[in-house]
Amino acid sequence: MKLFFVLTLLIFMNVTQAQELSPFQLKERVAFVGNSITDGGHYHSYIWLYYMTHFPSRRIDIFNAGIGGDVAEQMYNRLDDDVFSKKPTTVTLTFGMNDTKYYEFLWPNPDSSAKVNIEKSYQSYLKIEKRFKEFQGKVILIASSPYDDVSKIKNVSFHGKNKAMLKIADLQQLSAQKNNWGFVDFNRPMTSINVNMQKQDTLFTLCGTDRIHPGNDGHMVMAYLFLKAQGLAGKKVADICINKNTRKIEKSDNCKVQQLSFDNSTIGFDYDANSLPYPVDTIARGWGAIRKQSDALALIPFTAEFNQELLSIKGLEPAGNYQMMIDGMEIGKWTGTDFEKGINLAENTNTPQYQQSLAILHINEERWELEKKFRNYYWMEYSVLSPLGLKFKDDAKTLDTLKILAKNNGFINGNLDNYSSARFKLVREAWQKEIDVLVNEIYSINIPKKHQFLIKKIN
């Protein structure tokens, strides 16, 4: 089926709507397939962190199945070895950035070149689609994060590239509708953020200094869009309302409030939540990174929609000052009016429950770093060695070949040390054991603990 006919169908054909994304359930195994944005990115890790903290008893496994530089054809070629070998119950797929190419947009007739490249990508995708139809699990297609050809950053801009990427996104959406698969669009919402922010700062972009690779803030936006598509917005960490006048608990959503006590100046209770607050990283991670995960909170309503741990107390003196203690430690001071309106504890990094979540974040980052070693190894196997007929040879002769190639190739040179270790099966097995230990540890320490609250009036 030719591309122009497919696009006509997208406009005129009455097709079944794409399947709504359902939240991941216990024991799901999710493989995120993509290019370098998935390979070196954090969006899937941030999604998993949400499940680790909000659904601590719902253990799932998420796998990074991205390889830098990949186009749809390369993703198809590694489906068996690199994706289905993980025994996933759900597979997500994003492509389009590399498929639409780059410097061709500086050539004469760039639209003509783009049309050829989009058609080639589409034909490769049809082979993936056929394999996905045979797959017994769920499929989610993701329209790639955008190429920012508008920002005024000092970097060559391939004008028209993102327009070409949107044509691939339309094809993905049509396929999802036709096959009743899930579909999430990263491109248009992120482009909207870029356009709006660039009205104030022409250098702003979510897409990194190369206009391609989102920073930590961009990946947090991507995680937000995915979680929102799963219908998880509005799922509170907890929501408590206590009425001092009636001495009753009016609300205790997703938690238990027990041992409620009052005297003239204090209110005490035990708090046992089903979830933990979502911890947000304040470190710019990754090579050359300048943007932090926390930077995204000014761009998306993640806190309002996904990270609400609310405590409100009615009947306190409006102008009175009150100290909150948790487990004997001072957390902060608020007025009676503040308590009446409600306090979002998830924004307070000093609470013991937030500190518990923060430990999970750092362990998850350690897991991500180890998994990245595997992705660098597979990049070498599929992108460098496979065209040479040396895929998975992993012998001394192969290493010697790579050393020669590394003299004139910075990417190979940068990954040579990793490959020299990863080529040994015993080393990879050791790395996997480390990952397993870290994930097991996360799911042993992520169960919320019971805490003692004391709210006391102070002068």
Residue that is last in its domain, among 198, 229, 260: 229
The answer to whether residues 248 and 291 belong to one domain is yes
The answer to whether residues 78 and 49 belong to one domain is yes
pLDDT digit string (tens) for 63-96?
Answer: 999 999 999 999 999 999 999 999 999 999 999 9
pLDDT of 18 > 80? The answer is no
pLDDT of 220 > 50? The answer is yes
The answer to whether residues 285 and 418 belong to one domain is no
Residues 257-282 have a mean pLDDT of 96
The answer to whether residues 28 and 79 belong to one domain is yes
pLDDT digit string (tens) for 166-214?
Answer: 999 999 999 999 999 999 999 999 999 999 999 999 999 999 999 999 9
- Whole-angstrom Cα distance, residue 97 to residue 370? 26
pLDDT digit string (tens) for 235-254?
Answer: 999 999 999 999 999 999 99
Confidence at residue 17, expressed as pLDDT on a 0 to 100 scale: 41
The predicted model scores a pTM of 0.95
Q: Which amino acid is at 153?
A: I
Residues 389-417 have a mean pLDDT of 97
Residues 269-278 have a mean pLDDT of 98
Strand partners, 457: 322
Confidence of residue 288 (pLDDT cuts 50, 70, 90): confident
Return the CATH number at 211. Answer: 3.40.50.1110
The answer to whether residues 211 and 258 belong to one domain is no
pLDDT digit string (tens) for 346-384?
Answer: 999 999 999 999 999 999 999 999 999 999 999 999 999
| Pairing between β-strand 138-143 and β-strand 90-95 as defined by DSSP bridges | parallel
Q: What is the mean pLDDT of the chain?
A: 95
CB 434 within 8 A of CB 374: no
The answer to whether residues 346 and 429 belong to one domain is no
Residues 409-431 have a mean pLDDT of 97
CA-based angle 374:380:436, to the nearest 5?
A: 5
- Whole-angstrom Cα distance, residue 399 to residue 382? 15
Residues 101-127 have a mean pLDDT of 97
The answer to whether residues 262 and 113 belong to one domain is no
CB 101 within 8 A of CB 158: no
pLDDT of 401 > 50? The answer is yes
The answer to whether residues 122 and 199 belong to one domain is yes
DSSP string across 135-164: -SSEEEEEEPPPP--S--SSS---TTHHHH
- Whole-angstrom Cα distance, residue 399 to residue 104? 34
Q: How many CB atoms lie within 10 A of CB 285?
A: 17
The two structure tokens encoding residue 301 = 């309503």
Strand partners, 271: 257, 451
The answer to whether residues 51 and 119 belong to one domain is yes
**Percent of the residues in the chain that have a pLDDT greater than 90, as a whole number:** 93
Residue that is last in its domain, among 169, 195, 229: 229
Residue that is last in its domain, among 208, 229, 250: 229
**Percent of the residues in the chain that have a pLDDT greater than 70, as a whole number:** 96
pLDDT of 431 > 70? The answer is yes
- Whole-angstrom Cα distance, residue 69 to residue 181? 25
3-state DSSP of 31-45: EEEECHHHHCCCHHH
| Pairing between β-strand 238-243 and β-strand 309-314 as defined by DSSP bridges | parallel
Range of the domain at 273: 238-355+449-458
The answer to whether residues 159 and 65 belong to one domain is yes
The two structure tokens encoding residue 17 = 């709507």
Q: How many CB atoms lie within 10 A of CB 116?
A: 12
The answer to whether residues 198 and 50 belong to one domain is yes
Confidence of residue 19 (pLDDT cuts 50, 70, 90): low
Q: How many domains does the chain have?
A: 3
